[in-house]
Amino acid sequence: MLRQSRAGLAAASLVAMILLAAAPVHAAPKSLFDNLFGPPDGVTATTGTPRNALQVKVGKVRLDPRFMRQVVPLKTKEEPGTIIVSTDDKFLYLVLEGGKAMRYGIGTARDGFEWSGTHRVTNKREWPSWTPPAEMRARKPGLPTHMAGGVNNPLGARALYLGATLYRIHGTNEPWTIGQDVSSGCIRMVNDDVVDLYARVKVGAKVIVM
């Protein structure tokens, strides 16, 4: 009799565990900042090794091979040191000597925020601070008026400022956005790549966005 009671309790416990596992988990509502700069719904970020397909690693990341930094042939009349941004292809090219370029994968402007033109790099910053423009705060009430530089800053590890525009070539802690139209006009790169570009590019370098 005692053995049957224990068996019944074990079965009941097992059923309860299954029901709990199947019950929907109601996560805390995302903040505006998380909605803008966090991973997609259903995906969590980790600084360690992803345990499954629903985790994405932040920090040092491995991109889709076509978006990984690499030297490629490039026919251009532009001088070495020039940056050419191909928004359609999601590539940024840094012109090198000998008909070659260093190519980086990028994230570009979403619909309605596209732009093109020629500018110069007028400033460079390591771990830049971020002051959202008034237009962005009007579209997204609740954004901070200013955010100090650091690992959680949306501008990432480095930023190159383009002329008198509000646009930058900058890092990102959102590797899942590389290869997509995601920004309000800025050019995004993973932090490892923007650190590499930053070291190669001088203030005054020509930047062509097309």
User: Considering only the top CATH level, what class is 66-209?
Assistant: mainly beta
Q: What is the pLDDT of residue 137?
A: 81
Residue 170 annotated to the active site: yes
Interatomic CA distance for residues 191 and 141, integer angstroms: 27
State the Cα–Cα distance between residues 192 and 162, nearest whole angstrom.
Answer: 20
Distance CA 106, CA 91 (A): 6
Concerning whether 186 is annotated as a catalytic residue, the answer is yes
CA dist 65 and 181 (Å) reads: 19
The pTM of the whole model exceeds 0.75: no
Domain regions of the chain by residue span: 66-209
Spot the catalytic one: 26, 119, 146, 170: 170
Distances 59 to 64, 73, 80, 123, 141 between C-alpha atoms, Å: 15, 29, 30, 24, 28
Q: Along the 210 residues of the chain, how does pLDDT read in single tens digits?
A: 445 555 555 555 544 444 444 444 444 555 544 555 555 556 566 666 666 655 555 555 667 889 999 999 999 999 999 999 999 999 999 999 999 999 999 999 999 999 999 999 999 999 999 887 788 888 878 778 888 888 888 899 999 999 999 899 999 988 889 999 999 999 999 999 999 999 999 999 999 999
Report the amino acid identity of residue 190: V
Backbone φ and ψ for 171, nearest 5 degrees, come out as: -80, 175
For the CA atoms of the chain, what is the radius of gyration? 23
Nearest by Cα to 122 from 170, 78, 160, 80: 160
